[in-house]
Amino acid sequence: MRGARTSVPRAVKSSPALVSLGLVIALAAGCRSRSEAPTAEPAASGVAASTSASASAAPTDAPHRVGVRVREGNALARSAGDDALFLADEDHHVLRRIPHDPEVPAAALPLPGAPAQVLVLDDRILVTVRDPGLLLILRYAPATGFVELARVPLPDDAWGVAVTPDESLALVTSAWTHQVSAVDLATAKKRWSIDVPREPRAVVIREDGAGAYVTHLVGPDLTRVFDLDKPTPRSAPLVLAAAPHRAPPGRVLDASLAYSAVLVDAGERLLVPRHALGAIGANVWYGSPTVDVMLTKDDSALAPPHDEAALAQSLGDVSAAYRSSGESRFADPIEAGPEQEIAQPRAAVYLRTRASILIAPEGRDRLFELDALALDPVRSRRAAIALGGGCSAPTGLAVSADESTAYVFCRGSYTLATVHLHEGDSKTPRLESARIVEDALPEAAALGRRIFYDAADTAFSGGLACSGCHPEGRDDGHTYYEANVGAGTNNFLGLPENADGTSPNDGGYARQTPMLAGRVGAQGPYGWHAQDKDLFYRLRAGVELHRWQGNTGGLSYDYRPKLNALMAFVRTGLVPPPRTRRELTAAEAQGKAIFESPETRCASCHVPATEYTDRTAYPLAAMPTLKGFQEEKARDFKTPSLLSVGGTAPYFHDGSVATLEQVIDFNHDRMGKTNQLTKGERVALVAFLRTL
Ligand code: HEC
Ligand code: HEC
């Protein structure tokens, strides 16, 4: 059953049941022994060991760069001795230690809040905690179990973590509060926090220590941070075009879902897996997954600027691949282009020995291996490995020290998939899958979560699942085009160019993605026009919109139990972002009084008792239709909830206003009455809105 080729001599012993992993779903004959793992980390910095991980894919039995250090956090990480995995278990609020040896018991450390990432150093373990925002510094030893060394308070929603090559400094992103902070690891004290754009997530520190790159879940730019060692660092937006060669002519694409970034090729390239909104390909209404490549020597994009001939070639490739599959044009939009399968890229790691990257996409139960040195890595796929065991929503990814084994944490099924990359053939390597723990959610909501993430459920998703536009129940900041794509059906498009060229398309109505977490408790109505009487009908309408050409019949079976499960998940499983837990400041209190005053009338529509909305659609004085969108006759839009409104820019149904300050300044008595407000009163009103 085992493939003949393994990269490390293994001490084989027969393995009893995987007691430490609980219920074993599928288990191939194990070969688990601590002696098989290289235990010694190199004394020098891991950077030196990676110097020649260059161009040609090294044979798999090349000398191992044993223990090359991982410097970026992930939901899943291997222990320093490579004898166990650590899992930042966001739903159970614990840090788990899952030993490879089934005879060693698993350990779980309760945490003060939901963890996001774990990063293992030689003698310490760093864990980010979302709410309250913290960096925990821990140690684990078999004799003592987990020992907490320090707890560093950080801006709320602490998420991504990375360390400098000398491991003296950790950088942490705080997603909702859009900050990047530095923690001195010698003193366990915060050095600084700086403000960055919306939803910073992955942070990667250069191999030369000269600054860091931060990705954002919303928008196409990265953030470059300079002068990490100074008391006040600098930061600047860094333009990295999303899938430039797949952009329609003349367009610069919006992007989303940049949860991860990896340095490859001895730090010469930064790879950013994400979603390119509106990228074109065969039958993609929403755009395309992409891995954008940046050269770190001058922070320039590897892909050349958009070129029509190259684009025609690239589209030719897609349709050729599609034609050769022998399917009709609309038969299976998900399988249309090879890159579409990498739906909602989430975790990524670099395999130095193979010069490839592994990507676990949240929307599929597969692990992808891509050529890390390709111009367009998503088109240079080496393997797509089915993860089995009912894997749903892959979230965490780690590899063994010798890079022979990949571990994937599937959050939707609470399973751990162990992929022996060198055993079996490269497309179907040997695989084990084991349940880690029972889901934290009740059964219906747990099923709802699997649907929420699953881009391959053809009834509920047309290739991009709910979490592709509402990541973690938040929003992608994008304004979609609700377009008539023929046969009387309206569908969402990332850009008008995503429409099938034969169908009438005059742009489409502007539909900005709303945030869901904490905002879907009410009976209804839902939708920007308050067109759906309750959540059930909104979800049913939604699944017809997020695809090609209406629902292709997927909902013809009894969909009710699944829709109910989805409702249970969006109402009870989505976690609202951290909220201000302090008394209002004087300015915020003044803003509250203004908001509630009969003069401004804000609270008459944005009713505080009901999520700051009266759920009624009003025909506010028309604003001009945005360029490129279709003029809409129905001018009435539902009062949106203002809960968490400080973090959901841009604003209005068409995303036409970039900031809350501008919402007030450009209002001109359109909503309520604001012309009379002084500059100071406007500042106070906005300060109050940010506390909601
Ligand atoms: C292509 C991006 C996209 C996908 C995929 C998507 N949504 Fe949405 N969602 C939107 C947009 C845009 C709107 C606003 C449209 C409107 O109201 O007409 C919206 C509206 C909603 C609303 C109404 C919110 C309110 O306050 O009125 C709910 C609920 C919702 N989506 C849930 C879901 C669920 C559940 C899924 C998965 C089955 C999903 N969405 C998939 C983009 C998306
Ligand atoms: C007549 C009802 C009404 C009143 C009064 C009102 N609003 Fe609104 N508000 C709306 C509607 C409707 C929208 C959505 C309009 C659109 O999308 O085109 C909205 C949108 C907003 C948004 C953007 C939210 C988002 O997520 O896009 C903010 C912020 C806001 N209102 C704040 C206020 C403030 C502050 C006041 C008081 C000065 C106020 N509103 C008064 C109905 C009202």
Q: Where are the domains of the chain?
A: 1-26+36-63+240-437, 448-478+513-573, 586-689
User: What is the number of the ligand 2 atom nearest to the C-alpha of 672?
Assistant: 5
Instruction: Return the residue matching tokens 């560093």.
Output: 152
Give the ligand whose atoms come closest to the C-alpha of residue 597.
2
| pLDDT for residue 6 | 32
| pLDDT for residue 625 | 86
| pLDDT for residue 149 | 97
Q: Whose CA is nearest to atom 23 of ligand 1?
A: 527
Look up residue 418 and give its two tokens. Answer: 């162990």
Give CA separation, 147 vs 76, 123, 139, 206, in Å. 19, 12, 5, 30
| pLDDT for residue 477 | 95
Polymer length of the chain: 692
Q: Coil, strand, or helix at residue 424?
A: strand
| pLDDT for residue 545 | 81
DSSP state of 491: E
CA 600 to ligand 1 centroid distance, Å: 30
Pairwise CA distance, residues 632 & 656, whole Å: 15
Q: Whose CA is nearest to atom 30 of ligand 1?
A: 539
Strand partners, 361: 345
Pairwise CA distance, residues 331 & 150, whole Å: 55
Quote the distance between the C-alpha of residue 214 and its chain's center: 13
Q: Coil, strand, or helix at residue 163?
A: strand
CA 454 to ligand 1 centroid distance, Å: 15
Closest CA to 116 of 79, 135, 88, 86: 88
CA 657 to ligand 1 centroid distance, Å: 20
DSSP H or E segment with residue 663: helix 660-665
pLDDT < 50: residue spans in the chain: 1-66, 319, 321-335
| pLDDT for residue 251 | 86
Q: Whose CA is nearest to atom 40 of ligand 1?
A: 466
CA 46 to ligand 1 centroid distance, Å: 44
CB 263 within 8 A of CB 297: no
Give the ligand whose atoms come closest to the C-alpha of residue 498.
1
Torsion 200-174-467-348 (CA) sign: positive
Pairwise CA distance, residues 41 & 467, whole Å: 38
What type of residue sits at position 625? T
CB 281 within 8 A of CB 253: no
| pLDDT for residue 133 | 97
CB 229 within 8 A of CB 248: no
Q: How many CB atoms lie within 10 A of CB 17?
A: 12
Give CA separation, 560 vs 460, 519, 536, in Å. 12, 22, 9
Protein residues with CB under 6 Å of any ligand 1 atom: 286, 460, 464, 466, 468-470, 480, 492, 511, 513-514, 516, 519-520, 526-528, 535, 538-539, 542-543, 546, 566, 570
| pLDDT for residue 309 | 65
Protein residues with CB under 6 Å of any ligand 2 atom: 595, 600-602, 604-606, 618, 620, 637, 639-640, 642, 645, 648, 651-653, 660, 663, 671-672, 674, 685, 689
Pairwise CA distance, residues 290 & 254, whole Å: 12
CA 640 to ligand 2 centroid distance, Å: 7
CA 591 to ligand 2 centroid distance, Å: 15
DSSP state of 569: I
Ligand 2, pocket-test mutation among 671, 676, 683, most atoms within 8 A of CB = 671
Pairwise CA distance, residues 602 & 605, whole Å: 6
| pLDDT for residue 692 | 94
CB 364 within 8 A of CB 455: yes
CA 159 to ligand 1 centroid distance, Å: 25
CB 262 within 8 A of CB 471: no
| pLDDT for residue 359 | 98
Pairwise CA distance, residues 128 & 200, whole Å: 14
Ligand 1, pocket-test mutation among 275, 457, 458, 466, most atoms within 8 A of CB = 466
Please tell me the pTM assigned to this model.
Answer: 0.87
CA 620 to ligand 1 centroid distance, Å: 22
CATH number, span 586-689: 1.10.760.10
Give the ligand whose atoms come closest to the C-alpha of residue 490.
1
